[in-house]
Structure 1
Amino acid sequence: MDSEALVQLALETLSCSQKDLAIRLGVSPTQISKWKKGEHMSYDMADKISAIANIGHKDPSFVVWAGSLEAAIKWEKLIHFLAEVADDAAETGYNTDPLRDDLDLLCWHTFYTLRKMGVDLPKTFPNDLDIDYEEDPDKLWDLIEKNPYSSLIYKIYKSFTNVYGFYIAYVYEVVFDDELELWEAVGCDIDSCLLELAAAKIDIEGIKELATNFQEFKHLTTKNYEEWLNVVKERAFRGGVPLRAELLSMVYGTDEELGNNAESESLGLNSSRLHPDIYMNELLCGMRMIHQVLPAIMKKLGMDDEFTLDTSELRIK
């Protein structure tokens, strides 16, 4: 919970000073100042201030970024509508659970990602998007596609369905393998930053002026996932856990490629496929077995002293 945003909303709602707010909460003015600087706030106090600010379960940062509670409600309605449409249109064969927003994180995460991309959110909710989402579909989508913010959010969600499908198909079980102990090392980062990875894959042609920090955002996101997924690959190899796909495809592949890959997996079309790392592991295991067994066989046959390996015969002529 963002303590700074919560205090800001409470002060704006009550139109009071920090001293007045401190008296109402039964704390010192110094404590209010500490919260405004980001100091941790207890859940009980956060609930108390959320009630004062009348924001319910909405993330305080999301409300501040939206500009007002009224605007936050409208953004939330639009975001959930776009998420539902994107999830319904997904073709990976996997549900995109974060878009269903059971944890009430989607609105905050969407705005957080947009801000990292350099998108300057409007100070008020766009009038052209203040519409009835039950009206004529053609007219509705015409409005959504023309608005740069709604069209950008939908592009991110469409990309996210493909990225998330690949993640569930090939990465999820490895990350949550208790023996590999990956969750605390990199798994939590991989799981929680998937929306940013999806956003980094979209085509921003035509909206470059909107996402002013996109290239830096894409570079940093890509770099992070390269590091995280290489850790997963290394531990999986050491732990003898087979990988059914090249995990770095999640970084270098387009969202459509990831979606097609996930769909093939969900349909069972990849059931007999093994990633090259698995073949290499099988070869290494076979070679280790030969190294252990062959000397014993040669000794049994009495060949261990007289045998000399002619390496020239191993070369391809």
Structure 2
Amino acid sequence: MSAVNDTKLNSAMFLLTRIPGQEEVHLWISIPFCFIYVFSILGNSTILFIIKTDPSLHEPMYIFLSMLVITDLDLSISTIPTILGIYLFKSREISLDACFAHLFFIHSFALIEYSILLLMAFDRFVAISNPLRYTSIVTLPKIFKMGLVFVLRGVAVSSPFPFLLKRFQYCRVNVLSHSYCLHQDVMKLACSDITVNYIYGLFLTISMDGLDSLLIYLSSLMILRMVLSVASHKECLRALNTCVSHLCAVLLFYTPDIGLALIHRFGKSSSPLLQIVLGYIYLLIPPLMNPIMYSVKSKYLRGRIIRVFVK
């Protein structure tokens, strides 16, 4: 009877999912999530502090990096506390309104991160293709305007999600596939026709995620083509070195996201564990790894971080 009550809630609640079959070690599983949370906050906050306090880092590349850092902080704060609540306090229940607000912030921050990665690709392309005109093309006012536009874009396209989901009745088993709320996960639990939600989600995946990733891919190809045409081997390596960390950040964020989108839409027979693991990688690993990757590839930034911690 308790098992039934655990899976069938009233229509005003959802149940978030933990790693199945590992109930005895959930307390131990929470330990790596705690470390991810602490190091994500610490790493991103450190980079943001250094960029803010060092005038020599008030350049376009580092301004874009600070935007990425802020977005990563927001992603960590909006997801990991909920996950820790599940594993530490067995707090799996979440109301519909809280779930809708949760997924709105997650989708908004994810879309903003896509946009920032695209802006960073544009910055590297201009720096390599037009080094003499770089400072006149990529100016601070333009950076802030582009950043504001893409933030508003992420918020605007995510705003319909709560309203599209709120009109449904949820009379099935209200168990979500992840430890947090996603639009494509919640809509499958509705008793009504979800065609509009499905089309809107697919449209955003193609027009936003697909277009941004295509533009990043094309810019990377053009950068590679220009770099290979450079006569000096040393200059070629130097130009490629400036793009390595960004390409790693793009692959780290886009690969699990694409895999998760494909599983939600076409992988009905896929393993629930695979969905959960991909979901964790998609939202938890980029905020943890981005500060490390950019610090390792930037000699000056790495030196400033070491001096901060030594002091």
Point out the structure with the larger helix share.
2
Please, what TM-score do these two structures have when normalized by structure 2? 0.31
Say which one has the larger Rg. Answer: 1
RCO comparison, higher one (Cα < 8 Å, 6+):
2
Please, what TM-score do these two structures have when normalized by structure 1? 0.30
